[in-house]
Structure 1
Amino acid sequence: MVDTLKSKRLSGIGEYYFSRKLRDIEVLNSQGENVLNLGIGSPDLPPPHTVRETLVKGFDESNYHQYQSYKGIPDLRSAFAKWYSSYFDVSLDPDHEVLPLIGSKEGIIHISMSLLDEGDQALIPNPGYPAYSSATTLAGGEAIHYSLNEANNYHPDFKELEAMDLSKVKLMWVNYPHMPTGSDGTDELFERLIAFSRKHQIVVINDNPYGFILTEKQRSLLQQRDNNDLILELNSLSKSHNMAGWRVGVLAGNADLIQVVLSFKSNVDSGQFKPVMRSAIAALEVGNEWYGELNDEYRIRKKLAKEVVDLIGCSSRSEEVGMFIWAKIPETFSDGETYADYLLEKYRIFIPPGSVFGSEGKSFVRLSLCSSQEMWQEVIKRIKKKQA
């Protein structure tokens, strides 16, 4: 009965892989197994202490319990603009080029629903974040995947793109620093993306939540754009400030496009909780010391993760940025899903297969750095014991 009631827009959209796999892990743990999960990209570290202090103080502010503006409070928009100016060298008008979001994942669906009609196409990276494809489908559009590979540093092949029929393409999703491969963006890449957008009048959106994690410098697709360019960028405090559960993101860029997205967003939510917005401002005001300490921890974890990669017979690149390791599986295994099941069965460790992120990830697995040093050391100890 329920199947007959389900909307057609959900056709082809199944339950998120991690949701299904976590249920399997729960069953194993209920049976006394201690499965070590190295797959979920949710930071385990706390936010800056000023963020937590500001949240508590926010409960004494007047009108904290009331509906807030769909555009967020002015102070938050200004704080995002200052953050972009300080770290990305990007000038933004906080009243027209900055739109706070309830997490950047919300922005992906808002952009898709605001700009795509049935029959429109969106270019989606393969491998890439699955939400780009699902949001396109939910909006009635068609996902057209473009391949990323190691030979091209997981950057788009523009010759391949130009050879495609782009007549129905309205959006292009990019994500640098890239998840899951850890490839960073470059000034040259962003120049070519903007030129591609101008030539074909395609909206290009860079999803940029990993810009502070193990990167040498912060880059933004907005750095080289003109105000009338069809360029947008999503950002988030989830990874840069360990605030994944707080749901604070931002959409920045072309003012006219942001107004279109706001037209949709204002019909979906009623603004964010005011103390959370105040806390987000505190997060955006932390100094370089915060990012330095955060990356000191991730460097240690990355070293331990690389040891795990070696122990299980995988290989990975040395120049990854962000909070994931993209590891190629041993040639003795046909695909990442088979290999992930093997690791779960033999070592009781969970590492998701790269195929979750697209067909180009078939021969890979993705390790997340969002686990403590102690867990990584336990994983190493467990593997070595099993291999002895």
Structure 2
Amino acid sequence: MIEVANRLHTVEEYYFSKKLREVNLLIANGKPIINLGIGSPDLPPPQEVVDAISKSLLETNAHKYQSYQGLPALREAMAAFYNTYFQVTLNSATDILPLMGSKEGIMHISMAYLNEGDKVLIPNPGYPTYQSVTRLLGAEPVFYELDESENWLPDLEALEKLDLSKVKLMWVNYPHMPTGAKATKTLFEDLVAFAKRHHILIVNDNPYSFILNDSQISILSIAGAKDVCLELNSLSKTFNMAGWRVGMVVGSSAHIDNILKVKSNMDSGMFYGIQKGAIEALKCSKSWFESLNEVYKERRDLVWQLAEALNCTYDKNACGLFVWAKLPPSIEAEAFIDTVLKNNDIFITPGTIFGSQGEGFIRFSLCATSESLREAISRVK
């Protein structure tokens, strides 16, 4: 028996990888499961995106290796998108690196900047991949707690009291997943100043800006942010292209060059057709977001009704692809979702998979039809 690397003992299989096997087994056995767990958009991408990909398959370059930095036209479209919606000016030749989904960017950035023993500030609750990648690289997670009473925003005064001498990297994620909390310009200004004081690279993971949110903001819109900040973004949720894996990391050319050193050794470029489709997606007008959000508004209203039927409370000011709901006192999240799965054939995500601060909360995805949501409400009632 060949022993696995020690790093493998620092992480577990991703929660959804395990739980969805259980859910799929129930479905295979005839259970009519309504899956409100994972945020995988069920709506189609824009038709012009599909048309662009189909047309591209006949082009001469479609089957060839692609540039590690993506097509120039793709980077130009990403720069234009950031200028239009975030009022951020980026040099398409130097400040943008297309990614095969922003999830790989978490690994690439971490590999570019972390040594064993370095420390990383990670939100609790937060996206589990921040922690797992940190541990895989032999770095040490330092969790900063986000609390409902503070609208799930970081307490920088509390962080200032910590020993930050070994902290190299800080992950932030606004609009926040799983809670749907929104950042303010003041918060981003304070984060940039914090990063400069302590020589920390801050990465804002920003894939949810356009889902039920009227106030898009990028951390790079703050003066001086490029010196100490990067931002990840994705077409997965914004344009219903989750399985096609298109994202980006944006920031200063020096930071992008460092990440490219890692990425260029990890893949051989993004498929040409996907890049051509992404270019068309990024050209979509505001009417695309309006039509998308009309669907999500209807679904969110129904999820709010489902949450109320389960005796949960929620914040109507939150945005994003999920509803973060608070359970009645003294009810454990994982036990609760298992009961609902068993009794009502509905799969909901327990807040605990996002950290200890997620205890007492559950997360509903909006990636289910209104018909399915009405059926879920009926089952609970």
Q: Are 2:341 and 1:341 equivalent residues in the alignment?
A: no
Question: What residue in structure 2 maps to residue 263 of structure 1?
Answer: 261
| CA shift digits 1:224-271 (9 cap, x unpaired) | 142751110000000000000110000001211110000000000010
| CA shift digits 1:262-287 (9 cap, x unpaired) | 00000000100111101100000000
| CA shift digits 1:137-168 (9 cap, x unpaired) | 11221111100011111010011110111000
Query: 2:219–2:225: 8 Å Cα contact kept in structure 1?
Result: no
Q: CA RMSD in A?
A: 1.0
Give 1:332 shift. 4.6
Question: What residue in structure 1 maps to residue 13 of structure 2?
Answer: 15
Question: What residue in structure 2 maps to residue 171 of structure 1?
Answer: 169
| Equivalent residue runs for 1:192-231 within 5 Å | 192-226=190-224, 229-231=227-229
For structure 1, which runs of at least 5 residues remain unmatched after alignment? Answer: none
The secondary structure found in structure 1 opposite 2:23 is helix
Question: What residue in structure 2 maps to residue 376 of structure 1?
Answer: 373
| Equivalent residue runs for 1:106-125 within 5 Å | 106-125=104-123
| CA shift digits 1:279-300 (9 cap, x unpaired) | 1000000000000000111100
Structure-2 separation of matches of 1:332 and 1:79: 49
Structure-2 separation of matches of 1:228 and 1:204: 10
Structure-2 separation of matches of 1:362 and 1:61: 52
Structure-2 separation of matches of 1:160 and 1:227: 22
Query: 1:329–1:336: 8 Å Cα contact kept in structure 2?
Result: yes
The runs of 4+ residues in structure 1 deviating greater than 4 Å are none
Question: What residue in structure 1 maps to residue 275 of structure 2?
Answer: 277
Question: What residue in structure 1 maps to residue 289 of structure 2?
Answer: 291
Question: What residue in structure 2 maps to residue 105 of structure 1?
Answer: 103
- Equivalent residue letter for 2:380: I
How many aligned positions are there? 381
Question: What residue in structure 1 maps to residue 48 of structure 2?
Answer: 50
Q: Are 2:185 and 1:187 equivalent residues in the alignment?
A: yes
Structure-2 separation of matches of 1:383 and 1:227: 47
Query: 1:227–1:254: 8 Å Cα contact kept in structure 2?
Result: no
Normalising by structure 1, we get a TM-score of 0.97
| CA shift digits 1:198-247 (9 cap, x unpaired) | 11110000000000001112110000142751110000000000000110
Q: Are 2:125 and 1:127 equivalent residues in the alignment?
A: yes
| CA shift digits 1:175-209 (9 cap, x unpaired) | 00000000011111110111111111100000000
Normalising by structure 2, we get a TM-score of 0.98
Structure-2 separation of matches of 1:301 and 1:286: 23
For structure 2, which runs of at least 5 residues remain unmatched after alignment? Answer: none
Structure-2 separation of matches of 1:180 and 1:160: 22
Query: 1:124–1:172: 8 Å Cα contact kept in structure 2?
Result: yes
Question: What residue in structure 1 maps to residue 154 of structure 2?
Answer: 156
- Equivalent residue letter for 2:194: F
